[in-house]
Structure 1
Amino acid sequence: MSYRAPVEEMAFTLRHVAGLDAVLTQGGHEMAPEDVTAILDEAGKLANGVIAPLNRAGDRHGATLQDGAVTTAPGWREAYRAFVDGGWNGLGATPEHGGQGLPHLMAAACTEMWNGANLSFGLCPLLTAGGIEALTAHGSADLKARYLGKLVSGEWTATMNLTEPQAGSDLALLRSRAEPIGDGRYRIVGSKIYITYGEHDLTDNIVHLVLARLKDAPAGTRGISLFLVPKVLPDGTRNDLRCSGLEHKLGIHASPTCSMAFGDAGGAIGWLIGEENRGLACMFTMMNSARLNVGLQGVGVAEAAYQHALAYARDRRQGRAPGAPETSAIVAHADVQRMLLTMKASTAAARGICYLTAQALDAADGPEGRAAFERASLLTPVAKAFATDIANEVTSLGVQVHGGMGFIEETGAAQLMRDARILGIYEGTNGIQAIDLVTRKLPLSGGATARAQIATMRRVAEGLLKDGSPGFGHAAARLRDGVCSLDRATSFLLTTLGSNHPDAALAGAAPYLRLFGLVQGAACLAQAGLASSAVLKAGDTDPACGARIALARFFTENLLPAAGGLEQAVIDGGAFVEDAAAVLAG
């Protein structure tokens, strides 16, 4: 099983779909297009040559726990050292703390590569990136001085400690306790589960960000505080925390998923991040970054599954395609072509959405300000949920393309499907993303943020109509129809939210998110197709341009028609909540 970072397609999407050139200009970054390609090329070399070769062995070996210490799979420490020595850990961090200060867009492309090459490996720097963001935004000057430099360099790693055995997605049920002991310090007592890289042998110290309650804190989520709890204290002594177990999982075997115990000997020492009882707001700074990165994980794994399935389809000979004189490679069969094109087009659509989200985060630091921030807020749940749903679907299709051999572990197709399954669950399940989109993000600025985004999709459809290239087929009409379905569904939900009927809005949340992702993804592919059409009309003969046009046509003509059915599910399908209790009672 091999992976090759699709550098050319990533660079094209960055520039012509997500608008990287404008980001570089507005942000004052002194980077030419060739600099962008050079960075992506170097990242690709690390992903392809160092990280990807460990993927299968890591899945077989896994991480091991003995006497409270976790040992990662063979080769992990050396690969992590190469990653850190190359400066990749601090790609998007501020130069003030040792980072390179590159745009979110560039960091996003590299995140896709690490996780496409090896999802279990890519999880470690992903959590550290979120920790850096939370500490930068909310940490005291002393905590920043003590920890940020080493986190940015990758000398130390970070974790998120949210979930407890009795409190999964409902953080109001957290029981971990914190008690002030003077000098700005707190004692933390409690247990956490599902802590990614909660213990490992890659670095000497691990910086845990832990949610806990103070003694007299308000009930529910309003009474949660966030604490920085290091594995090793500033004086060099070991803190009162330990890994109490490793989960045995369906996938991502090489990523240690830990149960963590804080306070066996009286309490782990920690420091407050932000204000008391305001920890959830601080954690969500980290969580929102993590959600985009999880979407990028989905893109990376889907890309790997597509590459793997395509290579197999080109090699495997079975049956005879129409007009072929002898047994054909299965890639010549129409249904296999349909599956492979679905994999490729869906992956490219998810990539476009994730890159657009990263672009909005970059733009939020510039003249657009609040409007861009709201656009990023709107797109984040779509990026996370749509891209990870796509990862599950694409990796499943990858197994199908392999046929029986896909169900056999030795081909590697099954591992990709197993690894991808977690993506729709952690960092907020995809159902929670749909609720967030409909109840919190859709009403932003009275619905104007969503309307503005829909207007950009409509302009792409108009661009297709104006271009008139026959290679687009019915793409213009199909995209126009999809945008209209999204517009009507959006109006319905905004009206429903304003009429005090939350059940109807919540019932349609998941199909609405899928509808939004389909239409936005189609617009991204169409935008790439329009840019490619302009290149061809200018006299270039790059075959990749023709392929992008064909991919946009495939997506709009074969996948986007589902938009009409999703619209109906949003508007008319919510009656199931009236019958659910009776139907499920038996």
Structure 2
Amino acid sequence: MPGYIPPLADFGFLLRDWLTINEHYAALGLEDFDADLAMEVVEQGGKFAADVVAPLNREGDEQGCRLADGKVTTPEGFAAAYHSYVENGWNAMLGDVNYGGQGLPYSMAVPVHEMLNSANLSWRLTTMLTESAVLAISKHASESLKATYLEKLVTGEWTGTMNLTEPHAGTDLSLLSTKAEPNDDGSFTITGSKIFITAGDHDWTDNIIHMVLARLPDAPPGVKGISLFLVPKFLLDADNNPDKPNALGPSAIEKKMGIKASPTCVMNFDGATGWLIGEANQGLACMFTMMNDARFQVGLEGLGATEAAFQGALTYARERLQSRAPQGVQQPDDKADAIIHQPDVARMLLTQKAFAEGCRALAMLYAKYMDIAHLADDERRDEAEAILQFLTPVCKAFMTDTGLESTSLGIQVFGGHGYIREWGMEQLMRDVRIAMLYEGTNGIQALDLIGRKLTRDKQGMLDTTYRALDTLVHDIEQPLTKQAAEQLLNDWYITSQAVKDFDAVNAASGACDYLHYTGYALLGVLWYSMADAASRCDNPNIAQGKQKTCKFYIERLLPRMQGHKAALFSGASNLLDISGSEFDYL
């Protein structure tokens, strides 16, 4: 199985040459941060991902997790790697300095998170959800709950989970039935069952803090009657140390297609003690603080898998000798040429490269606006929030869809060896497939984009996102590149304006096509912007590689956008006119 190599040169290009991160930090008043510090964090994070986490990936997949006597055991080395992660401060990167955090910008942390996903997606999941729990507690919990729980979550001494889904209530949380009964001391008694709970139990820490959606006795029906509760695995003593077990625990671990080293638990809450987070019956709004962060982080899973598959396929294609290239002998000293010289193999590798680097640029642009949303104190914050809301479903769905395509291409480059476990390609594909499902399926993301973010918002988020991308286009110096980028961006904007007037049926019918149309269009704008910046880059490999990959993307992948556009405007009848019996052929 090929080893993982952190893409440091690409991160350096994005931070220094493309995002001009020094100017970004200066505009936010971050006097202690610059590109040199950002790259130092990225380099050390990449070293941890490659040296500590990546070597555990295959063995973790082979071993899986075990449940015995109500306790989950994770694969060998996973807990030790987590302890090293915590001891070296990685868990605290984004945390509030008042609660043991380092207060780093997202533009420094996101590269580290991507590399952890490339190295070992199963291992990364537990730390990812802890970060999301920290956000929800920071924004919505009482000062008392923050004082008790937040620092230990920020530092990683404890981990966090997200408990939404029930056997009968997945996307439609209005069906949720877990109950919360108030107690005289201000706590609540939580009773119910949750499924698909990532890291619901494990052997990494001595406490796990569950974020649980439940209904109060007098709650109104539907999603308006859901509240959010903090429910620890262990109740605390007077010194806030884990003491008595709470009335909860895992009853099963799901047997899964992939991410086998991550314990996906069925959790039972049998009269467990919990505390309300935020206002009563406002749990869904509180939980969305977690979910929106988690959706972007799941997008990074797709990106991480794309990069890992590309690296593996590229290494193999350079080493595998087979036949002569149709353009003539490339390696005269060998009996055959490496398959990288075959045009169809080059097509697959370039598709992976274009998606990896294009989605990485999208993720870093998202991280830039996360910085602004968290650190600015003027109208830029509201604008950044609008951009993030619009881009979140695109990042989650498009980056995971392309992740599946890229891992499938990785298998294809390896040929028969790609289907064999020891090469690692098939694990990447199995692992990343889940990313299209959890935190809201990609179809739900598409409905969110075309519904909440476009048609119901009446163009506000669209316009703000357009202006942000137009700024990138405005900064392009090469006239022909700038003209092409302007035309592409304007095509997307005009099309989006037409789509916002769709009725509910046509919006639902065209949602996935609109999301993919948007994804391909936005990556095209980013590729034009990167190619222009690369033309002034000192690194010749970056300069030539970006410009040539941009040409490939525009000529080979961007045309997919027009297919999605045609389908988008084809209407709902080709989906809905067929009757139930007409689906059958027997």
Alignment partner of 1:467 is 2:474: no
- C-alpha distance in 2, partners of 1:141/1:272? 12
1:301 to 305, 311, 317: 305
Asked whether the 8 Å contact 2:383–2:464 carries over to 1, the reply is: no
- C-alpha distance in 2, partners of 1:104/1:461? 23
Residues 96 and 121 of structure 1: CA distance in aligned 2, closer, same or farther (over 3 Å):
same
Residues 584 and 413 of structure 1: CA distance in aligned 2, closer, same or farther (over 3 Å):
farther
Alignment partner of 1:170 is 2:172: yes
> Structure 1 residue 578: deviation in Å?
3.4
The residue that corresponds to 1:9 in the other structure is 10
1:567 to 565, 576, 580: 565
Residues 549 and 284 of structure 1: CA distance in aligned 2, closer, same or farther (over 3 Å):
same
Alignment partner of 1:423 is 2:435: yes
Partner SS, residue 237 of structure 1: strand
Amino acid at match of 2:274: G
The residue that corresponds to 1:238 in the other structure is 245
Alignment partner of 1:124 is 2:126: yes
- C-alpha distance in 2, partners of 1:21/1:512? 35
- C-alpha distance in 2, partners of 1:88/1:309? 30
Q: CA offsets per residue over residues 26-54 of structure 1, 9 Å max, x none? A: 33321222111111111011001000000
Alignment partner of 1:262 is 2:260: no
> Structure 1 residue 230: deviation in Å?
0.2
Q: CA offsets per residue over residues 471-521 of structure 1, 9 Å max, x none? A: xxxx6676455434422321221122xxxx200111111111111111111
- Once the two structures are superposed, the pairs formed by residues 67-466 of structure 1 within 5 Å of their partners are 67-235=69-237, 236-263=243-270, 267-322=271-326, 323-324=328-329, 325=332, 326-364=335-373, 365-366=375-376, 367=378, 368-443=380-455, 446-457=458-469
- C-alpha distance in 1, partners of 2:38/2:578? 52
Amino acid at match of 2:546: R
- C-alpha distance in 2, partners of 1:209/1:448? 32
Asked whether the 8 Å contact 2:390–2:465 carries over to 1, the reply is: no
- C-alpha distance in 2, partners of 1:271/1:288? 22
The TM-score normalised by the length of structure 1 is: 0.94
Amino acid at match of 1:373: E
Alignment partner of 1:576 is 2:574: yes
Residues 219 and 584 of structure 1: CA distance in aligned 2, closer, same or farther (over 3 Å):
farther
- C-alpha distance in 2, partners of 1:119/1:53? 12
1:50 to 33, 36, 52: 52
> Structure 1 residue 162: deviation in Å?
0.4
> Structure 1 residue 522: deviation in Å?
1.6
- Once the two structures are superposed, the pairs formed by residues 9-28 of structure 1 within 5 Å of their partners are 9-28=10-29
Partner SS, residue 521 of structure 2: helix
1:39 to 41, 52, 64: 41
- C-alpha distance in 1, partners of 2:539/2:185? 68
> Structure 1 residue 25: deviation in Å?
1.5
Asked whether the 8 Å contact 1:461–1:476 carries over to 2, the reply is: yes
Q: CA offsets per residue over residues 529-559 of structure 1, 9 Å max, x none? A: 1111123xxxx46322111111111111110
Q: CA offsets per residue over residues 67-102 of structure 1, 9 Å max, x none? A: 111111001111001100110001011101111101
- C-alpha distance in 1, partners of 2:258/2:478? 45
Question: What is the root-mean-square deviation of aligned Cα atoms in Å?
Answer: 1.8
- C-alpha distance in 2, partners of 1:136/1:181? 24
Q: CA offsets per residue over residues 195-218 of structure 1, 9 Å max, x none? A: 000000000000000001111211
- C-alpha distance in 2, partners of 1:48/1:268? 40
Amino acid at match of 1:553: K
Residues 541 and 97 of structure 1: CA distance in aligned 2, closer, same or farther (over 3 Å):
closer
Asked whether the 8 Å contact 2:158–2:206 carries over to 1, the reply is: yes
Partner SS, residue 203 of structure 2: coil
The residue that corresponds to 1:472 in the other structure is none
The residue that corresponds to 2:556 in the other structure is 558
> Structure 1 residue 444: deviation in Å?
7.1
Range moving further from structure 2, 501-510 or 571-580: 571-580
The TM-score normalised by the length of structure 2 is: 0.94
2:498 to 489, 492, 501: 492
Q: CA offsets per residue over residues 219-277 of structure 1, 9 Å max, x none? A: 111111100000010121000001100000000010000000111xxx10000000111
Q: CA offsets per residue over residues 393-439 of structure 1, 9 Å max, x none? A: 10011011111111111211000000000001001111111111111
Residues 541 and 428 of structure 1: CA distance in aligned 2, closer, same or farther (over 3 Å):
closer
Partner SS, residue 350 of structure 2: helix
Asked whether the 8 Å contact 2:449–2:515 carries over to 1, the reply is: yes
- C-alpha distance in 2, partners of 1:146/1:134? 15
Q: CA offsets per residue over residues 375-402 of structure 1, 9 Å max, x none? A: 1111111111111111111001101111
> Structure 1 residue 181: deviation in Å?
1.0
Range moving further from structure 2, 149-158 or 556-565: 556-565
Which segments of 5 or more consecutive residues in structure 2 lack a partner in the other structure?
A: 238-242
The residue that corresponds to 2:240 in the other structure is none
Amino acid at match of 1:3: Y
Range moving further from structure 2, 446-455 or 377-386: 446-455
Amino acid at match of 1:488: I
Asked whether the 8 Å contact 2:489–2:525 carries over to 1, the reply is: no
Asked whether the 8 Å contact 2:129–2:161 carries over to 1, the reply is: yes
Partner SS, residue 168 of structure 1: coil
Partner SS, residue 124 of structure 1: helix
Partner SS, residue 495 of structure 1: coil
> Structure 1 residue 109: deviation in Å?
1.2
> Structure 1 residue 572: deviation in Å?
2.1
- C-alpha distance in 2, partners of 1:227/1:463? 47
- C-alpha distance in 2, partners of 1:583/1:335? 42
Residues 463 and 363 of structure 1: CA distance in aligned 2, closer, same or farther (over 3 Å):
closer
Partner SS, residue 416 of structure 2: helix
Asked whether the 8 Å contact 1:485–1:564 carries over to 2, the reply is: no
- C-alpha distance in 1, partners of 2:486/2:536? 21
Range moving further from structure 2, 481-490 or 347-356: 481-490
Partner SS, residue 195 of structure 2: strand
1:59 to 45, 54, 61: 61
Amino acid at match of 2:535: S
- C-alpha distance in 2, partners of 1:146/1:257? 27
- C-alpha distance in 2, partners of 1:78/1:49? 13
> Structure 1 residue 128: deviation in Å?
0.1
Range moving further from structure 2, 71-80 or 5-14: 5-14
> How many residues in Structure 1 have an aligned counterpart in Structure 2?
569
Range moving further from structure 2, 186-195 or 12-21: 12-21
- C-alpha distance in 1, partners of 2:225/2:473? 48
Asked whether the 8 Å contact 1:485–1:567 carries over to 2, the reply is: no
Amino acid at match of 1:570: L
